[in-house]
Amino acid sequence: MADKNEQRESSKKPKSQTSAPKRSLDVRQKNAAKPKSDAQPEAAEAALAPKTTPKPKPVLPEAPAVKAADSAPLAAAKTAPHASRKPLLIKIGVAIVAVVVVIIAIFAVLIYAFGSTSPVTAAVVSVVPYPAERVNGHFVSYNDYLFEVNANEKAYVSNAKLNNQTVVSWSSADGKKLLKQIKQHALTKLETDAITAQLATKYKVTVTSKEVDALINTLYQKYGGKDTLLKTLSQIYGWNLDDLKKVIYKQLLAQKVQTAVGADPAIDAQTKAKAEDVLTKLKAGADFAATAKQYSQATDASAGGDLGTVAKGQVEDAVYNAAVALPVGGTSAVIKTQYGYQILRVTDKSDAGIHMSHILIENVSFSDYFAGQQNDAKVKVFIKS
């Protein structure tokens, strides 16, 4: 019996143990069914939610510092294509320079040893400024030299054909002689142009493009129009419009320089100073006739400067009035006249007029002045003419 009672009691115990969780769940349900306050809905939900433990973030090992030496291979790898191009570009540049130097050297030999005037040489010197000569420290280009030579060569051939004359071959003896004269003439012309340009700088003389165009338009009207003139110049000299403008520019510059030189008070002062030196000799007792023969530039210098008897109106008023004021045997001061500076000696006076002699120191003409500039110029010719 006891065993049966024990079995009954043991069978009842599990029932009581299993009911406890049920009641606990019911209580939770009852509590959950109760209305929640507005202040704690989220807290209640959080309490009921299952608790989860956040996973720890993986800690990455710190990257080691990259040293400059370690990064060098990477940088070299990145720049390797560019670095490999650089030596190639340098080699190409050196090769180009070498070729240019060789070409320049070859044409230098053709120019300075043989005086080449070929079309190929003309094309090269239009780019490379080979000097033909140096005038007072200023270089004259071989390109300008060829311009003069080629124009004169063509002019010779054109004129010979126009006059039905035989055109000599430039390779013949006569042709070589003529070509040498043409080349020498070109050098002289370039010296003249260089000195003119230097004087233009000294006297601040300029020529504008409008002045050049104005003169060219005048030539158009004079020679039958633009097309006719340019065609004629091309046939005779081989010139185009730009060549004509260059020629006209030089002509106008020379004219302006001549005017500026004539008005230069310094040149006038030089003429007067020469006359004053002559007067000093006369005052020191020099014979008038002998001095006139030596220094006077008048046509009567060989006659001692004797003008004979002169009436009013036969000479400049300045000369006649100075003679009137002089006593017989008197010598005047230096007198400025249109021809230069003069010194007078009155030898007699009569109703017919005044017998006088004179010494004339002429104004320096531009041609004489320019000739002096050419004689004083320092010229160095580099080419074989």
Domain residue extents for the chain: 131-262, 265-363
Q: Classify domain 131-262 at the CATH class level.
A: mainly alpha
Q: Grade residue 114 by pLDDT with cuts at 50, 70 and 90.
A: confident
| 259-287: average pLDDT | 94
The two counts, helices (H) then strands (E), for the chain are: 13, 7
Among the listed residues 265, 284, 280, the one whose alpha carbon sits nearest the alpha carbon of residue 359: 280
What pLDDT score was predicted for residue 306? 96
Higher-confidence residue: 63 or 198? 198
Structural contact between residues 357 and 288, judged by C-beta atoms closer than 8 angstroms = yes
pLDDT of residue 48: 45
Alpha-carbon gap, residue 303 to 296, rounded angstroms: 10
Predicted pLDDT of residue 31: 47
CA dist., res. 70 & res. 48, Å (int): 57
- Per the prediction, the chain carries an average pLDDT of 83
- What is the CB neighbour count within 10 angstroms for residue 110? 17
Q: How far is CA 380 from CA 116, 191, 249, in A?
A: 19, 10, 25
Residue 66 to residue 57: CA distance in whole angstroms: 26
Q: Read off the tokens for 184.
A: 């020498």
208-218 pLDDT tens trace? 999 999 999 99
Fold match flag (131-262 vs 265-363)? no
Spatial neighbors of 233 by CB under 8 A, at least 6 apart, are 239, 243, 244
Q: Is 195 exposed, middle or buried (0-12, 13-18, 19+ CB in 10 A)?
A: buried
Sort strands 335-337 and 379-381 into parallel, antiparallel or unpaired: unpaired
Residues 6+ apart with CB under 8 A from 323: 310, 332, 344, 346, 354, 356
- Let me know: does 275 contact 341? Beta carbons within 8 Å: yes
* pLDDT for res 87: 80
The answer to whether residue 136 scores a pLDDT higher than 50 is yes
More confident residue, 53 or 97: 97
| pLDDT band at 338; cut points 50, 70, 90 | confident
pLDDT band of residue 83 (cuts 50, 70, 90) is low
Q: Say if residue 22's pLDDT is above 60.
A: no
Q: Tell me: pLDDT of 68 over 70.
A: no
Residue 245: which region, alpha, beta or left (left: phi > 0; alpha: psi -120 to 50)? alpha
- pLDDT at 5 exceeding the cut of 90: no
Close Cβ partners of 219 (under 8 Å, ≥ 6 residues apart) = 229
1-5, 83-87, 107-111, 345-349: segment of lowest average pLDDT? 1-5
Neighbour-count burial for 119-156, b at 16+ CB within 10 Å, e otherwise: eebbebbeebebbbbebeeeebbbbbbbbbbbbbbbeb
Euclidean distance between CA atoms 336 and 72, whole angstroms: 91
Query: Does the domain made of 265-363 have the CATH classification 3.40.50.980?
Result: no
Residue 46 has a pLDDT of 46
For residue 135, the 8-state DSSP code is E
* pLDDT at 345 exceeding the cut of 50: yes
With cut-offs at 50, 70 and 90, classify the pLDDT of residue 67. Answer: low
Tell me what pLDDT residue 81 has: 57
In the predicted structure, residue 301 carries a pLDDT above the cut 90: yes
Supply the pTM of this predicted model.
Answer: 0.64
Which stretch of 20-34, 247-261, 326-340 has the lowest confidence by average pLDDT?
A: 20-34
Query: What does the pLDDT read at residue 322?
Result: 96
